[in-house]
Amino acid sequence: MKIGVPREVVAGERRVAVTPETVQSLRGLGFEVIVEAGAGVGARFTDDAYLAAGATVIDDTRALWSGTDIIIKVRPPAQNEAMGCHESDLLPHEGRLISLLFPGQNEEVVARLAERKATVLALDCIPRISRAQKMDVLSSMSNIAGYRAVIEASHHFGSFFGGQITAAGRTRPARVLIIGAGVAGLSAIAAARGLGAEVRAFDTRAAAREQVQSLGAKFLEVDFEEAGEGAGGYGKQMSKEFIEAEMRLFAEQCAEVDIVITTALIPNKQAPILITQEMVESMRPGSVIVDLAAERGGNCEATVPDQTVEVSNVTIIGYTDLTSRLATHASQFFGNNVVHLLDDMCGDEGFYVDLEDEAVRGALVLHVGEMMWPPPPIVPKAPPPAPAPPPVVAPADPVLPAVDEPDTGAGLGRSLGGLALALSFAAIGATADAAFIQHFTVFVLSCFVGWQLIWNVTPALHTPLMAVTNAISGIIIVGGIIQGAATETNLSVILGVVAILVASINVFGGFLVTQRMLKMFRK
């Protein structure tokens, strides 16, 4: 199958849906990739780089749309001013399109595509489930937008983010308030903390507390009990009482902080106003507000989409193209998400739309012209039933064990073995001299005592520090000391010294290894 990657026609859009690196991944999945000339220039990817990766580069836009099986692009289809037509009309009959679409906001575009009997997957509708994280374009782009928001704020803020102590004077760290601790908010927290700022964050979802604190920021709360978790990993619309409480909190914070970054956005709804005109006027001169919800009206009352304005000496940034301002990495992340989606849609028989796949079904807007959006809600799988407790059985009456007849064969064997051992000892005593008898007696007793010492160690102490080998080495050292205490130097003294040396290496080596092992479990 052929994949077509057209050049984006929306003004200011620098991203491209497929990069030279992802071209190689798509070819590995069996696709042929055709790229419109100049499609990657805004993201610093040249046509030569695409050719080197194995893609085909063509100049004819209409041929690219009509001659490929799947069109992959970043922005929803829009008016192509150079060609004087809408991109939806360039898609062939029963063609396939994969892009950001936002079907709730672009009903006219969806209707145009339905007339073409198109099959359309909206990357912004990928459900936020565990297995679809690698395809989640919105999370990838939000991560970049949060980082870029801090960079834009630092560009307009007239001081250091981190505190400085110099010969010329001392500056305190910047105070940053981040409203919304989703993907973009957490990315902004990490970036601001990395620059040395003092960061505070607020979110209606209690689950965000640990994530905020793990990044070194202070989590702000209102004195009002209400759960803020909504469907699909987003926050929900809160009650009027809760909103009033959080607005009082924001008013207090705006008078203290230097930078405010807002990320509050509910899908398919106008962005809620969180920063009023009065709050803006209460901020210090030179403060900065970065409104990541500007595309849906903005969280700040004074935000102007796609512009930077100054109100009461406060700079308000309403850019809607923050991801495009990091076009190289944004394109790479976008392309990786697309590769994972196509990998999920390619089975043994090639590319197909699996309506039973939760990720594909969630993103499917049109299927051969038939409206498939919104998808049915994902029903969480019920946990497996808990195993039934074992039946309680009443204790039976105690049964006395039967008295077995003694095993005469085993008893006879033990008796003969003991008799043979006694006869051996008697023979040694009758034939050996007194010196040998003395050494032999010490040997037998040492074996018995050593066996009792080693095998009666408490099992809880069987560690590298109190192992059986260390106990044996200790006995060897004691024996070596006894042998080496002789006044004359002979073979037994030399062997005793060697035994002490070798056993000591084992013991002290065991101590060293034990210490290294214990350090592995210490913070």
Length of the chain: 523
Structure tokens belonging to residue 131: 């297995």
* For residue 253, pLDDT beyond 70: yes
- pLDDT of 135 > 70? The answer is yes
pLDDT at position 457 over 70: no
Give me the sign of the Cα torsion angle 300, 305, 306, 308: negative
Please name which of 80, 7, 2, 81 lies closest in space to residue 37, comparing C-alpha atoms: 7
pTM over 0.75: no
Q: For the segment 348-369, what is each residue's pLDDT rounded down to a tens digit?
A: 568 899 999 999 999 999 999 9
Burial 99-122 (b: 16+ CB within 10 A, else e): bbbbbeebeebbebbbebbbbbbb
Three-state secondary structure string covering 298-324? CCECCCCCCCEEEECCEEEECCCCCCH
Cβ atoms of residues 171 and 164 within 8 Å: yes
CB 110 within 8 A of CB 288: no
d(CA 416, CA 423): 10
State percent of the chain over pLDDT 70. Answer: 84
Catalytic residue IDs: 128, 133, 136, 139, 234
Provide the b/e sequence for 244-266 (b: ≥16 CB within 10 Å): ebbbebbeebbeebbbbbbbbbe
d(CA 299, CA 280): 12
**Can you point out the beta strands (E) in 292-444?**
308-311, 314-317, 346-347, 350-351, 364-367, 370-371
* Tens-digit pLDDT profile for residues 182-230: 999 999 999 999 999 999 999 998 889 999 999 999 999 988 766 655 5
